[in-house]
Structure 1
Amino acid sequence: MSKEKLSNIVIGLVLIIIGSYIFLENFGLIQFEFGFISWPIALLLPALGFHIAFFLSGMRKDLAGLLVPGGILLVLSLHFYLEILTNFQYSDYTWPTFLLAPAFGLFELWFFGYRNRGLLIPVGILTILALIFFAQAWLSFAAKLWPLVLIFVGIFILFNRNKDSKDPTISSD
């Protein structure tokens, strides 16, 4: 069997499994114990399918384009699993992942493809923007912690007494 036929079989099976899973869950015919975190699997399975298809093809450089949607979907599925597990409470700080997803897919294309330097431009721009926005988001979070400095200074003042100086409240009479 040729590698191309094997890739088509893998992609076809992945799509059938995903479609069947979503169809059965939509009609309540199946439910998983962790059903509340199961929807990102609709992104994860095709991502794995794209990667498996590429690697089963013998990592042919002309098929490296499969890794772009595969990489994007992989990063997004992992991002959404994290968001669901944390009840989306950190989404104000993790949103730059949406910029990293295409950067990762394009980087995979560059790494496994023909190493066209032009691909590194959007990868670099998206990555730098994501890092800037991550830094800004986390600094805004850290800015909320400044009252802790006051607490620590207060504790230091209360418990750090200079042993050379005399306490004016204690008389030596």
Structure 2
Amino acid sequence: MRATGTNTITGLIFVITGIVILLANLGIIPIPSTAEAWPAFILLPAVGFHVGFFLSGRKSELAGLLVPGGILLIISLLFFFETATGFAYSAYTWPVYLLAPAFGLFELWYFGKREKGLLIPVSILTGIAVFSWGEMVASAVGRLWPVIFILIGLYLLFGQRSKKKNDKKSM
């Protein structure tokens, strides 16, 4: 009996899971704790949506699978980062929540029928996220503007001397 596409995927998942658990039981590889690995439960359906679409032969009428797949993929990657850093950067990474649906919709546009209307929400969500990060950078730079005075002062103190030395050498 030949394995179908679904049986092949399910079989591969079982084989890979079994190998990983066996290697962990033998002490060859470490298994992260549930506190660190919970984003994998978001990543698995994301991968499933993508695998389902690509195994369908990339039929444009099934490109809708990529919207939840793309959203879950980005969110899971964000949560992997956040758990690895103890959510220390969550005040700066929140615009990724806007990029997640933008990514899913962009995948729908790219692999679907390329309806231009999909690019409107993609552009709006991406623009808001980029603008938000720009505001964060501008806020940080805004606090550092006195550095300009320091650099000008250092140039006036030390830059003038090297210029005078070069002028004396050329005479």
Q: Same fold per TM (> 0.5)? A: yes
The structure where helix makes up a greater share of residues is 2
How many percent identity over aligned positions? 52
Shift of 1:102: 0.4
Shift of 1:141: 2.3
Amino acid at match of 2:111: F
Answering whether residue 96 of structure 2 is matched by residue 90 of structure 1, we say no
CA distance in 2, matches of 1:80, 1:154: 45
Shift of 1:35: 4.3
| Helix, strand or coil at the partner of 2:61 | helix
Answering whether residue 136 of structure 2 is matched by residue 112 of structure 1, we say no
Partner of 1:60: 59
Partner of 2:122: 123
CA distance in 2, matches of 1:8, 1:64: 22
| Helix, strand or coil at the partner of 1:59 | coil
TM-score (norm 2): 0.70
Runs of 4+ in structure 1 over 4 Å off: 7-11
Post-superposition Cα deviations, 1:148-168, rounded to whole Å, max 9, x if no partner, equal 33443444455445448xxxx
Amino acid at match of 2:40: I
Amino acid at match of 2:116: R
CA distance in 1, matches of 2:6, 2:65: 11
Change in Cα spacing, 1:123 to 1:145, as seen in structure 2 (3 Å) is same
Moved more, 125-134 or 153-162: 153-162
Answering whether residue 72 of structure 2 is matched by residue 45 of structure 1, we say no
**In the alignment, is the contact (CA less than 8 A) between 1:48 and 1:74 conserved in 2?**
yes
CA distance in 2, matches of 1:99, 1:8: 36
Partner of 1:101: 100
CA distance in 2, matches of 1:69, 1:84: 22
Point out where structure 2 has 5 or more consecutive residues left out of the alignment: 17-29, 166-171
Shift of 1:144: 3.1
CA distance in 2, matches of 1:57, 1:7: 11
CA distance in 2, matches of 1:151, 1:34: 48
- RMSD between aligned alpha carbons? 3.3
Shift of 1:147: 4.0
CA distance in 2, matches of 1:7, 1:96: 36
